[in-house]
Amino acid sequence: GENVEQHPSTLSVQEGDSAVIKCTYSDSASNYFPWYKQELGKRPQLIIDIRSNVGEKKDQRIAVTLNKTAKHFSLHITETQPEDSAVYFCAASEGNNDMRFGAGTRLTVKP
Amino acid sequence: ETGVTQSPTHLIKTRGQQVTLRCSSQSGHNTVSWYQQALGQGPQFIFQYYREEENGRGNFPPRFSGLQFPNYSSELNVNALELDDSALYLCASSPGRGWYEQYFGPGTRLTVT
């Protein structure tokens, strides 16, 4: 089955700086990689996703890169703002069988 | 467009009891997935339903069972509750089979005493 490791577990940055969160997966058949943002007491919110036939995807200040050979993918947030503070989860799925989440990264953006 | 809703919001049960949690999928979505999220951890996949059929199951025992109705709403049933079942239970819906463009509900907080 799939295992997803996420690093770092906590990340603190100054407002305006960039933040990078990295995940690795074990199942080479994985083909879909979403990222979720979860604020305290709220539901996970899909912020960006990437499929295995694409190496990079960008949406305003957020980007995701995928390296299939190395089996890792990363979330990049530029020009961070205090409202970006939350727990971020990566996930990986192979077809319809299973979806595995990383343990999460608590991002704190200091004003 | 209506988002994913879940009921109840909170629930307290005693060990050994049974519980039913409910989820209404987002309008236009025919797939519902259920997750268990323990405090401080990522969601763990329980199972998924696509057009009323189970479409994948995670590493959970048979006392976790589910159902999807013709209107694509869904139930999660847990029998013989254990203390470790205390968690936030999330459902998520997506517009097709699998996990693409999956949107979560607010969750049901289950406490087992």
- pLDDT 10s digits, B25-46: 999 899 999 999 999 899 999 9
The CA R_g of chain B, rounded to the nearest whole Å, is 13
Each residue's pLDDT tens digit, A96-110: 668 899 999 999 999
Considering CB atoms only, which of B43, B59, B101 is closest to A101? B43
CB contact under 8 A, A102 and B42: yes
Q: How confident is the model at residue B89 (pLDDT cuts 50, 70, 90)?
A: very high
Q: Looking at the complex, does the CB of residue A42 fall below 8 Å from at least one CB of chain B?
A: yes
What's residue B101's pLDDT? 87
How far apart are the C-alpha atoms of A35 and B92, rounded to whole Å?
14
**Cross-strand partners of A105:** A88
Mean of all residue pLDDT scores within chain A: 94
Is the pLDDT confidence value at B1 over 60? no
Lowest mean pLDDT among A92-96, B68-72, B84-88: A92-96
Q: A49-58: list long-range contacts, CB under 8 Å, 24+ apart.
A: A49/B100, A49/B101
Q: Looking at the complex, does the CB of residue A91 fall below 8 Å from at least one CB of chain B?
A: yes
Residue of A40, A57, A96, A100 best to disrupt the B interface, most CBs of B under 10 A? A96
What's residue A2's pLDDT? 65
Percentage of chain B modeled with pLDDT above 70: 98
* Higher pLDDT among residues B67 and A3, named by residue: B67
Q: Where are the beta strands (DSSP E) in B9-105?
A: 10-13, 19-24, 31-37, 44-50, 53-57, 64-68, 74-78, 87-94, 103-104
CB contact under 8 A, B56 and A97: yes
How far apart are the C-alpha atoms of B32 and B54, rounded to whole Å?
10
CB contact under 8 A, A95 and B50: no
Give every residue of chain A whose pLDDT is below 70, as ranges: 1-2, 95-97
What's residue A95's pLDDT? 65
Residue A26, H or E segment: none
Secondary structure of residue B84 in the 3-state scheme = helix
Q: Are B110 and A45 in contact (CB under 8 A)?
A: no
How far apart are the C-alpha atoms of B74 and B88, rounded to whole Å?
16
* Higher pLDDT among residues A41 and B65, named by residue: B65
What's residue A107's pLDDT? 98
Chain-centroid distance of CA B9 in Å reads 13
Nearest CA distance, B95 vs chain A (angstrom): 13
Mean of all residue pLDDT scores within chain B: 94
Is the pLDDT confidence value at B12 over 60? yes
Query: Which residue's structure tokens are 């763990």?
Result: B44
Residue of A7, A39, A46 best to disrupt the B interface, most CBs of B under 10 A? A46
